[in-house]
Amino acid sequence: MSRIAEAFERARAEGRAAFIAFLTAGDPAPDATERLAAALEQAGTDVLELGVPFTDPIADGPVLQRSASRALEGGTTLADVFATARRIRSATKLALVLFSYANPLFRFGIERSAEEARTAGFDGVLLTDVPPEEAGSFAPPIRASGLDTIFLVSPTSPRERMEKAARLSSGFLYVVSRTGTTGSRDGLPPDLPETVARARRAAKGLPIAVGFGIGTAAAAHQAAALADGVVVGSALVAEAERAGSGREAAVGRLARELREACRR
């Protein structure tokens, strides 16, 4: 059983949804990412998505765009992300997901990227701009390296696309809560229960995680009632941005609050 599967099993046994956090690797520096990862683990985080900074993050809102820009200005490369992951793996027990757009891995080489991700300690890979119909050159080498492949579905995904994404996924199926880009919102969309229900039918027992727009305890609690996992990114990155040198304590406090809200 992979660390990702173990994380969902542990959360289920504790009567809660798994808490999945996102950080941009290298923002504002690699050592800051490592300290934030440690703070997230101490707060009870189950899975950490480590984002590869990219120059054209079309799915990201302003918070994550700024985060990627800071990391790129600091010189963070895909090789640096792997190095950061190695240090996080040696210091924590977090399940780790490599979260990336396709281009950085394509330029590095898909097979090479998959092998580097495995040896760095990643447990899964999520390519945010690769739909299931175009996964043929990406999914097989990633799975061959022993890593989970995680695909996205959204409220606009038809049944056939959800089923294909679920067949290609292991670890969990990621349900995007709303159309548009990442970023905290005041509430969850009213059609989310129906979207999750359709995803569950397609997933056939694979865990479902909901993300995009979740940034408050109330929203996390709502999402946890529907899904097996709750993903929070922009709210944590924004908290680190606001807190400056006190970012680890601030992010830890917010993560602890959100994780507690994942109890059912």
pLDDT tens string 71-93: 999 999 999 999 999 999 999 99
pTM: 0.96
Rounded distance between C-alpha atoms, residue 125 and residue 119, angstroms: 13
Domain count, the chain: 1
- Residues in the chain with pLDDT values less than 70: 179-186
Q: Which structure tokens are listed for 34?
A: 């490592």
60, 116, 148, 248: the catalytic one is 60
SS3 percent helix, strand, coil of the chain, rounded to 5, is 50, 15, 35
**194 catalytic, yes or no?**
no
pLDDT at residue 185 in the model = 60
Q: Express each pLDDT in 185-230 by its tens digit.
A: 667 889 999 999 999 999 999 999 999 989 999 999 999 999 999 9
**60 catalytic, yes or no?**
yes
Q: What is the CATH number of the domain that holds 135?
A: 3.20.20.70
pLDDT at residue 23 in the model = 98
27, 41, 46, 49: the catalytic one is 49
**Bond from prior residue into 53 cis (ω within 30 degrees of 0):** no
Domain interval for residue 189: 3-261
